[in-house]
C-alpha cells in the first residue's frame, strides 16, 4: 500500500483516484455513496476515513433474502419492511452480500483496538518498508480526564485543572517530538534498520490501513465502537462510518439504529422483573433476583427509581 509523502496533501491523492476511476457500470450502486467515493473525511487531528470501494446496496440484501423462493426486488416500502424483519430477527447472511473497503489513517493505539475485530481483511502500512511521518495524535484538552474508579479501562468525568492540562499537553508534545528526532537519528545517522528503529516510537504515531468488511460484521463493529462505553478516539471514527452507512444502505442504517444500535438486550431474569412491575408489583432493589450490577443496568435503562 502506498503512502502519501509529507508534502503531498491527502486531498490531492484522493482527487487523482476520482479522476482516474470514471467508468460505466451495470451493477447496483448507491448514488449518495458515489458522491463521496475516494474523498477524505477528516477524523481527529491528522486522521481520516475514505471509501475506496463497495459492493451491493439495500437492494442486494433483499434480493439475497428472497432468492430462496425466487422472487425479485419489490417496491421500496416492501424492501424496507423486509430489511427491518431481517434485522429484528438477526438474520445475518443477507447483509453479508454487501461489502465495503475503507482507507483509514489513525493512531496506532486506535488501530490496535480496531484490529481486534477479526472479521475483516486488513492491509496496514509497513514501517519495515517505509519511514513513518512525524504525525502524532494530540488529545483535545477537554478529553484529558482522571482514571475512572469504577471502569478499569476508561476515564472518569472528573476534569483536570488547567495547570495539569497544560503540563500534560506539553509533556506529550515534547515526548512525541523527541521520539521522532531519535527515530530519524537511528535511521539516518546510525543506519539502523527501519524494523528496529521504529521501536522507539510511541503508540500515538499515525498509521494507515485498508480495511474491507461485509455489512453484517461492519454493524457489529459499529454496535461496539459507536457505543458510549468505547474510547472517545475510536468512537469518532465509528460515528463517521455510521454516516457512510447511512449514505450506502439507508434502509439498513435505519433498521440498525432502531433494532441494534439504540436498543437494549435483556436477560430472562430482567424481563421477569419488568413483567412483575407491569403487573403492579413493587420491586425491592435489594431482593429482586438480580445481581447489583444487573439491577443498576436495568434501573438506568428504564429510569427506575428506588
Q: Can you read off the three cell numbers belonging to residue 304?
A: 427506575
Let me know how long the chain is.
306
The answer to whether 255 and 87 are in contact (CB under 8 A) is yes
Residue whose cell numbers read 447489583? 292
Return d(Cα 205, Cα 184) in angstroms, integer.
14
Residues 6+ apart with CB under 8 A from 132: 183, 198, 201, 205, 206, 207
* Given 3, 50, 198, 225, the catalytic residue: 225
The phi and psi torsions of 93 (rounded to 5 degrees) equal: -60, -35
Angle between helices 232-248 and 215-225 (to 10 degrees): 140
198 tagged catalytic: no
The three three-digit cell numbers of residue 93, written as one number: 447472511
Rg (CA), the chain: 24
Nearest to 112 by CA among 141, 90, 137, 91: 137
Q: Which residues are catalytic?
A: 225
Amino acid at each position: 500500500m502506498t503512502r502519501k509523502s509529507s508534502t503531498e496533501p491527502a486531498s490531492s491523492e484522493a482527487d487523482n483516484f476520482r479522476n482516474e476511476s470514471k467508468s460505466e457500470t451495470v451493477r447496483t450502486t448507491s448514488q449518495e455513496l458515489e458522491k463521496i467515493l475516494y474523498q477524505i473525511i477528516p477524523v481527529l487531528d491528522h486522521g481520516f476515513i475514505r471509501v475506496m470501494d463497495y459492493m451491493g446496496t439495500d437492494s442486494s440484501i433483499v434480493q439475497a433474502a428472497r432468492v430462496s423462493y425466487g422472487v425479485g426486488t419489490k417496491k421500496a416500502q416492501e424492501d424496507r419492511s423486509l430489511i427491518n424483519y431481517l434485522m429484528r430477527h438477526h438474520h445475518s447472511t443477507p447483509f453479508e452480500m454487501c461489502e465495503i473497503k475503507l482507507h483509514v489513517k489513525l493512531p496506532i493505539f486506535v488501530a490496535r483496538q480496531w484490529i481486534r475485530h477479526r472479521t475483516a481483511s486488513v492491509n496496514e502500512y509497513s514501517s519495515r518498508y517505509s519511514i513513518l511521518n512525524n504525525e502524532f495524535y494530540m488529545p483535545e484538552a477537554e478529553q484529558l480526564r482522571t482514571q475512572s474508579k469504577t471502569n478499569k479501562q476508561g476515564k472518569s468525568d472528573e476534569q483536570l485543572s488547567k495547570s495539569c492540562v497544560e503540563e500534560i499537553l506539553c509533556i506529550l508534545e515534547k515526548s512525541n517530538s523527541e521520539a521522532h528526532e531519535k527515530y530519524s537519528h537511528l535511521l539516518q545517522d546510525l543506519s539502523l534498520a527501519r524494523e528496529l528503529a521504529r521501536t522507539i516510537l510511541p503508540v500515538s504515531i499515525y498509521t494507515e490501513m485498508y480495511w474491507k468488511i461485509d455489512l453484517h460484521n461492519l454493524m457489529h463493529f459499529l454496535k461496539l465502537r459507536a457505543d458510549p462505553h468505547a474510547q472517545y478516539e475510536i468512537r469518532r471514527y465509528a460515528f463517521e462510518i455510521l454516516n457512510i452507512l447511512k449514505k450506502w444502505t439507508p434502509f439498513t442504517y435505519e433498521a440498525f439504529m432502531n433494532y441494534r444500535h439504540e436498543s437494549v438486550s435483556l436477560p430472562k431474569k430482567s424481563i421477569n422483573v419488568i413483567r412483575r412491575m407491569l403487573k403492579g408489583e413493587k420491586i425491592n432493589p435489594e431482593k429482586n433476583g438480580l445481581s447489583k450490577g444487573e439491577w443498576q443496568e436495568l434501573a438506568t435503562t428504564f429510569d427506575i427509581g428506588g
